Amino acid sequence: MLNCLYRHTGRLLRSASLLFVATGIVTTAPSLMLSAEFSVVSAAYADDDDGDDGGSDDDGGSGNSGRSGSDGGKRFRGPQTLMDYLDNRRQIQAPRTRSTAKKRQQAAPVYEPRRLVALGLSDENIAQLQQQGFSVADRVEMRLTGAQLTRLQIPAKMSLQTARQRVSALVPDAVVDFNHYYQPEQTSAPETETKPAPAACNGTDCPLMRDLIGWNEPKAGAATCTILPKIGLIDTAVNPDHESLKQARMEIIRLSDDELPQSGTQHGTAVAALLVGAENSRAPGLLPQAELIAVDVFHGIKGDNNRATTYDLIRAIDLLAEKQVPLINMSLSGPDNLLLQKAVEAAAQRKITLVAAAGNEGPHAKPVYPAAYQNVIAVTAVDRNGNPYRRAVRGEHIDLAAPGVGVWTAASISGARQKTGTSFAAPFVTAAAARLKAEKPDLDNRQIAEELSRQAKDMGKPGHDPVFGWGLINAQALCSS
């Protein structure tokens, strides 16, 4: 009995020694006393956080995308005995398992359940589908193509994939896909803070990133912009009562279902102010004299998040095309979708310039849409030193780089703060395209993209590269407003 106990104790001590070596802990075998600390570091997933900016936040974006301080991550005192150590190991590991399972359960859906979107279904096609158990949730005429855009409710006990195949088989010429979800692309706090922003900002002493692209430093002999074109914005809700936007020439249209919760105003207000914020406000815009048509396609969901559907996104592009808007800013991203691609192609045929955020999913992530479509100018973000934003999506589809780290713009209710993300880089390119269109109104969307790329300041590898595209947008060559 004693020999058996001795052998088991020896195995336990040897296992403990191996465990201590593997974890980098130095101990003395006889006493098994430990004095090291064990830390569990929480990973930061907030590449698109924005969250609640507190309404008024003039602290210069002092927040951080990671977590620190006493609440930043659990720290465990080192165990004093072997059994304490093993017991603590069980306590540390168990929450990780539950946390992982919880995250899997709460994975955000990528498309609307039980619904499809289709383009090109006739009344006869609808009647045939209704006989098979389908029903029409919504239906509108898409003026860009002249075809009907339909949101279909699929039959009970039929999978979305089967339903999609059924519709496509019945109407081969129709374009059918899932009703995918899209999210705003932003990060609230700057990744690299240089110095605190001033508490007061009158338009001259703000830490404005526009200086990086020579926005207020036109070359000698540069023309003066005369009539700026209308600018379209597809985004979340915008707060028209913000002091930066009260005097703006702005029309706000909500397209999302009125029965759904309204989207938050943090993202849309920040992007709108970057474009047309009052010159002497705390969040001065790039083109305060321009007219902005802001279309809210998002609705609120749990956790202060927002999402839009393919159906509403297409309707927004169609609406702005009907209003003869030549430039559209889309600081949002999501999956590839056949109908969205058709809408982008139709807008391009109307010579509409589409600008979209490249996405904040990370440098190794797959391309996101609409930025990755051929007829869209995909914009990545850099900091004030020209370094690429570490969470920006990279790829051969990237066209241009613009300031997007620690960008000073409006908070949701009042005041201003710094924002980070490709969402806040896109408006710089949209504003540059507007200046170019004002100077040379005969340029179409393809020519505008080519001209902006040609004028860009090359960064990274010579020529086009997947990090910076053709380079940093250069406003010095444009007309001055």
User: CA 320, 323, 327 angle in degrees (round to 5)?
Assistant: 50
End-to-end CA distance of the chain: 93
Q: What are phi and psi of 260, to 5 degrees?
A: -90, 150
Catalytic residue among 256, 331, 333, 423: 423
Number of Cβ atoms within 10 Å of the Cβ of 180: 24
Which DSSP string corresponds to 109-169? Answer: PSEEEEEEEEES--HHHHHHHHHTT-EEEEEEEETTTTEEEEEEEPPTT--HHHHHHHHHH
* Helix (H) or strand (E) segment spanning residue 79: none
The number of CA neighbours under 13 Å toward the Cβ of 398 is 34
Question: How many Å is the Cα radius of gyration of the chain?
Answer: 27
Q: Is 47 a catalytic residue?
A: no
* Distances in whole angstroms, Cα of residue 295 to Cα of each of 235, 255, 286, 463: 6, 7, 19, 36
Q: Which strands make up the sheet holding 327-330, listed edge to edge?
A: 249-254, 291-296, 231-235, 327-330, 353-357, 376-382, 400-403
- Which residue has 């059918």 as its token pair? 176
Which is catalytic among the residues 180, 267, 299, 397? Answer: 267
DSSP codes of every residue in 80-123: SSHHHHHHHHHHHHHHHHHHHHHHHHTPPPSEEEEEEEEES--H
Active site residue 242: no
Is the CB of residue 185 less than 8 Å from the CB of residue 332? yes
Residues 53, 235, 383, 399: which is the catalytic one?
235
Q: Is the dihedral of CA 79, 81, 85, 87 positive or negative?
A: negative
CA 193 to chain centre: 21
Distances, alpha carbon 158 to alpha carbons 165, 193, 220, 233, in Å? 11, 52, 66, 37
Catalytic residue check, 267: yes
- Residues recognised as catalytic: 235, 267, 423
